Amino acid sequence: MKKIKIIFFITFFFSLFFEDINAEKSKEIGTSKVISDEVSDQLKKLIDQYKNGIITGYEYEKEKKKILN
């Protein structure tokens, strides 16, 4: 029974510690997610323009490089 209590407390404290780390990571991920959403939206619009014949393949590649850099 004593071993079970020790394991429980160790697990509990580790979960608290990792929860703080995960909270910090999620803040960072939230920022990068917004940026990646913007990039993906721009790329989708660019692909639509290319498929509809509004821009050429060369223009598509040129703009894609700008967006991804």
Is 52 a residue whose pLDDT tops 80? yes
Give the pLDDT band of residue 51 (cuts 50, 70, 90): very high
Regarding pTM above 0.85, the answer is no
CA of 41: how far to CAs of 20, 28, 56, 62, 64, in Å? 32, 20, 19, 17, 12
Is 34 a residue whose pLDDT tops 70? no
Give start and end residues of each alpha helix (H) in the chain: 2-51, 57-68
Mean confidence (pLDDT) of the chain:
75
